[in-house]
Amino acid sequence: MRKGNQVKLIGKYPFCGREGIVEYSWERIYRHTTSEEVQAWRDSSESKGINSAGETKLPPRVARVEYDGGTIHRPKLTITKEEETKLSDDTFTVVRARCAPVLGYSKTPGCTLLRNNRTGEEGYIKRRHVKLVQD
């Protein structure tokens, strides 16, 4: 995988929900919070007080990047061998193929920086959860 490659995310562990909709477990993509988001948190009531350990609350350092993973409709509630994994409906561009960002309060090795082609939002995810798209 290299900078500029087109990739999709891998959804695993499918389960049949209501009305035959097969849902997948999608990995989360994280990005760093902006200073405006941190200031909004500090102004909110969530930042006031102390946590369960009796310490002051720390502001969030990361936020989730939303994307369209996709589902499958299976009226008979059966999942075939080919449907055990599904590639996301959204396509991503690799901005940085190998990186180890500080997400939250610790370093996270084995990541890649992706840009969602639909929304333009960038975020970090483990490399093992992406698959190259064949042109």
- 34 lies in some domain: yes
Average pLDDT, the chain: 90
Split into its structural domains, the chain has a count of 1
- What are 91-125's pLDDT values in tens digits? 999 999 999 999 988 999 999 999 999 999 999 99
Contact 86, 14 (CB under 8 A): yes
Its pTM stands at 0.86
- 1 lies in some domain: no
Domain that holds residue 36: 6-132
- 102 lies in some domain: yes
N-terminal to C-terminal alpha carbon distance within the chain: 14
pLDDT tops 60 at residue 135: no
> Residue range 76-87: average pLDDT?
79
State the Cα–Cα distance between residues 2 and 43, nearest whole angstrom: 41
Q: Tell me the range of 19-23, 76-80, 104-108, 121-125 where mean pLDDT is highest.
A: 121-125
